[in-house]
Amino acid sequence: MNMAEVIKNEKVLRFIDESAALCNPDRIVLIDGSKAQRDALRAEACSTGEMIKLNEDLLPECYLHRTAVNDVARVEDRTFICCRNKADAGPINYWMDPQEAYKMAGDIFKGSMQGRTMYVIPYSMGIVGSEFSKIGIELTDSIYVVLNMEIMTRVGTDVLDALGKDGDFVKGLHSKCALDETKRYILHFPEDNTIWSCNSGYGGNVLLGKKCFALRIASYLGKNEGWMAEHMLILGFEKPDGDTKYIAAAFPSACGKTNLAMLIPPESYRKKGYKIWTVGDDIAWIRVGADGRLWAMNPENGFFGVAPGTNEKSNPNALHTTQKGTIFTNVVHNLENNTVWWEGLDKNPPKNAVDWKGNPWDDAAKAAGVKGAHPNSRFTAPAKNCPCISKAFDDPKGVPLSAIVFGGRRAKTAPLVYQSKSWDNGVFVGSIMASETTAAATGAVGVVRRDPMAMRPFCGYHMGDYFAHWIEMGKKVKNPPKIFNVNWFRLDDEGNFLWPGFGENMRVLEWIVKRCEGTVGAVETPIGYVPDVKDIDLAGSGVSEETLKELLTVDKETWKKEADGIEEFYKQFGDRLPAELSAELAQLKANLAK
Ligand code: GTP
Ligand code: SPV
Ligand code: MN
């Protein structure tokens, strides 16, 4: 195919030419979004062993892929924001000078696609052609990346039509190179709308539409253009009378977004007619609507979800979503029927199986405690498969938000739920989020760290300026969403979860919605409003009132220590910390001293 005949945008052609001159691929192939091309790429990936075709009867059009053993999660310490002025990256991001970064990575990319094909992926984040959507072009030498991007985003020549002759786009260049972890870099150039990723083949490092574009680059664009890109699920809460309220929730990686977005209410709620609808499970782009509310849309087209722990009881909707057209990464290959398995799917690990590293997963390995699936193993599944996908999923306007919910994994400290007292107080609540680290990123697991708005690894600019942007957005809306914080992960003294979580989280969502409607009271504490024990419906939950009381406790001494920690955390932002947030911290301290 002659590229110039199909691609009318000079900037796209130049980007392809310059990248090809650098990486020196044998061939360049445009991804057109057709089934014929997709089928051919799937067949090619299977012929080289890059993917394994699974049982067509049990898992139609599904595939298994294993990444390199050293390449199984996002690499936060190798992820850089490359803006001209170091101070603009802020104290939390890793920074590199753009010229040095282009030079350093240019040497790595040089000739990296020799003997390989460079695929050109035109993709849209959001509905193709909608005014709230944005377009990217990813160049990659990985068929796995192409096939994942075709699920996670909207890909094809119609995107080039929407881009037009001189439309702007985010330039993404990815090469697996040699998968050398010492030369692995995920580089963002927000001032150039550019992303470079080398030496990785894992999800968040290489599916450049996702965290790299839709959060890091988009958060920077949002700051300048007056909107927000957030690490949030979006769900619809439908009441028995059919009225649906929309909630966005920011939890750090592997802290329950996909699970909450696809929640199935407890039976008593279902009988009354309550339903939950999924609009998104990971990313929300949020704008000010003409009606003075905030409107959120999901720029993605699929789910890149955590496999372990997903089962018929915890998240049946996610499980059903993965039964067709799905790519599984780093799970167990069940050789008995050519399907997949992971820890927490059921209690019957397959006897004849291969683990995520490609080794036989036999009785000896199991007895030695070897895990079959990697804890960060994932499924890439089309959103349209989801039984509870919202009608609003394909609505370019998105949905109006009634509530924003923050939450993390905290063994103590944070109560099951509390409501902030105002927008600014809610921004404070988001800014002080802390959570235990998970397997979604390389490094230690289970260490509590501050993760403001669940954006610590994903904010493309200075975190202090990001807080200021949140404060500003609040001023632009007459009817801002109410802001809450939840914690499904509080432990008792024996280390057991106090709250059953998953579908039972509906009981907390109900309180949140009623607070938004002003139809339920609350109890004031030094940190905000918590529910009165009688206002959380516990019928059929197995949770006692006593346990609920414990879950809702705000311990002053613990929170005084927390306030000291927040003060320490805030210091690094210097004069870029909005005065509103210093005032909120002072108020918290005063409340605790009372
Ligand atoms: P990313 O895709 O990394 O952004 O993760 P996520 O926020 O979508 O997290 P996900 O819903 O995949 O959940 C991650 C892990 O948290 C899974 O192993 C779940 O079993 C567990 N989890 C989710 N919700 C709950 C809950 O309500 N209670 C408890 N105890 N665990 C939960
Ligand atoms: C996360 O880590 O928050 C994810 C998975 O959603 S990844 O795409 O790898 O970032
Ligand atoms: Mn995520």
Q: Domain of 138: which CATH number?
A: 3.40.449.10
Beta strands in 533-590 (DSSP E): none
Do both 412 and 380 map to the same domain? no
Q: What is the mean pLDDT of residues 287-308?
A: 98
Do both 135 and 236 map to the same domain? no
What is the reported pLDDT for 201? 98
Instruction: Give the total number of structural domains in the chain.
Output: 3
Atom of ligand 2 at shortest range from CA of 282? 6
Q: Is residue 66, in this structure, part of any structural domain at all?
A: no
Look at the chain and count its residues.
594
Q: Is residue 253, in this structure, part of any structural domain at all?
A: yes
Do both 106 and 177 map to the same domain? yes
* Residue among 198, 255, 386, 459 flagged as catalytic: 255
Minimal-distance CA residue to ligand 1 atom 15: 254
Dihedral over Cα of 42, 45, 49, 51: its sign: negative
Beta strands in 251-326 (DSSP E): 275-280, 284-288, 294-297, 302-306
What is the reported pLDDT for 1? 63
Q: What is the mean pLDDT of residues 330-342?
A: 98
Q: Which residues surround ligand 3, an ion (CB under 5 A)?
A: 253, 282
Strands 294-297 and 284-288, how do they pair?
A: antiparallel
What is the reported pLDDT for 5? 86
Other CB atoms closer than 10 Å to residue 71's CB: what's the count?
Answer: 22
Do both 81 and 188 map to the same domain? yes
Confidence class for position 2, pLDDT limits 50, 70, 90? confident
Is residue 261 classed as helix, strand or coil in its secondary structure?
Answer: helix
Confidence class for position 4, pLDDT limits 50, 70, 90? confident
Ligand nearest to the CA of 67: 2
Q: What is the DSSP letter of 165?
A: T
* pLDDT at 3 exceeding the cut of 90: no
Q: Is 377 in the pocket of ligand 1 (CB under 6 A)?
A: no
Domain finish residue from 202, 225, 248: 225
Contact 217, 209 (CB under 8 A): no
The pTM of the whole model exceeds 0.95: yes
Q: Is residue 56, in this structure, part of any structural domain at all?
A: no
Do both 494 and 532 map to the same domain? yes
Q: Show the ligand 2 pocket: residues with CB < 6 angstroms.
A: 74, 203-204, 210-211, 253, 282, 304, 440
Whole-number Å distance between alpha carbons of 489 and 486: 9
Do both 410 and 494 map to the same domain? yes
User: Which residues constitute the domain of residue 471?
Assistant: 230-298+393-593
Q: Is 314 in the pocket of ligand 1 (CB under 6 A)?
A: yes
> For 215, what's the count of Cα atoms within 13 Å in the CB-facing half-sphere?
21
Q: Is residue 92, in this structure, part of any structural domain at all?
A: yes
Minimal-distance CA residue to ligand 2 atom 1: 253
What would the pLDDT profile of 73-110 be if each residue is shown by its tens digit?
A: 999 999 999 999 999 999 999 999 999 999 999 999 99
Do both 81 and 7 map to the same domain? yes
Q: Is residue 438, in this structure, part of any structural domain at all?
A: yes
Do both 445 and 536 map to the same domain? yes
Do both 90 and 133 map to the same domain? yes
Domain finish residue from 368, 385, 402: 385
- Helices assigned H by DSSP within 477-517: 506-517
Tell the burial category of 165 from Cβ atoms under 10 Å away from its Cβ (0-12, 13-18, 19+). exposed
Q: Is residue 47, in this structure, part of any structural domain at all?
A: no
CA of 254 from ligand 3 middle (Å) equals 7
Residue 255 appears among annotated catalytic residues = yes
Q: Give whole-number Cα distances, 92 to 56, 74, 308, 530, in Å.
A: 46, 16, 30, 31
* pLDDT at 504 exceeding the cut of 90: yes
Burial letters 414-439, b for 16+ CB under 10 A, else e: bbbbbbbbebbbbbbbbbbbbbbbbb
Q: Is residue 439, in this structure, part of any structural domain at all?
A: yes
For 431, residues 6+ apart whose C-beta sits below 8 A from its C-beta are 452, 453, 467, 470, 581
Mean pLDDT over each residue of the chain, to the nearest integer: 97
Domain finish residue from 225, 255, 282: 225
Do both 454 and 565 map to the same domain? yes
What would the pLDDT profile of 21-77 be if each residue is shown by its tens digit?
A: 999 999 999 999 999 999 999 999 999 999 999 999 999 999 999 999 999 999 999
What would the pLDDT profile of 572-591 be if each residue is shown by its tens digit?
A: 999 999 999 999 999 999 99
Token code pair at residue 266? 């407890």
Mutation test residue for ligand 1: of 281, 306, 312, the one with most atoms within 8 Å of CB:
306
CA of 252 from ligand 1 middle (Å) equals 9
Q: Give whole-number Cα distances, 26 to 50, 111, 397, in Å.
A: 19, 10, 42
Do both 418 and 505 map to the same domain? yes
Minimal-distance CA residue to ligand 2 atom 8: 204
Do both 309 and 366 map to the same domain? yes
Q: Is residue 54, in this structure, part of any structural domain at all?
A: no
Tell me, what CATH number does 376's domain have?
2.170.8.10
Q: What is the mean pLDDT of residues 566-574?
A: 98
Whole-number Å distance between alpha carbons of 485 and 251: 10
